[in-house]
Amino acid sequence: MAVNAVRNDGNHKKTSYLKSIVIGGITGYALKYAIPITPQEMDDDFNARLGQIKESAKSFKPPEADEFINSGKRALIAEIKDIRPTGIFLLTGICAGALMALINNIMNYGK
């Protein structure tokens, strides 16, 4: 005769907090790079460096100059996004994931 200390009838509707926290953290980290840069991040230093890129592009012909400016601007934006504090985005994602798991478990309680 098998004895089970925990009732296991195959009816697992509760959401795992650990899984929700990990998914939330990954989502928060991805949002660090997905959210566009703000006007506060495009400060005088950003504009000065973009001006240097445009000055350097004057030595190229028009199609190559446009490509040089666009690639320089993309690199500059990627650098600004990389400077953003990772902890804020991770913590926000973790909290959102835990909150969603809690809400899901409360709504499914007793079902």
Residue 60 is predicted with a pLDDT of: 86
pLDDT above 90: percentage of residues in the chain: 68
Under 8 Å between Cβ of 29 and 93: yes
**pTM score, whole prediction:** 0.73
Site of tokens 């925990």: 6
For 32-58, the pLDDT digits (tens) are 999 999 999 999 999 999 999 999 998
d(CA 73, CA 52) in angstroms, rounded, equals: 11
d(CA 83, CA 10) in angstroms, rounded, equals: 47
Structure tokens at 15: 């959401």
pLDDT above 70: percentage of residues in the chain: 86
Q: Is the pLDDT of residue 26 over 90?
A: yes
Confidence of residue 16 (pLDDT cuts 50, 70, 90): confident
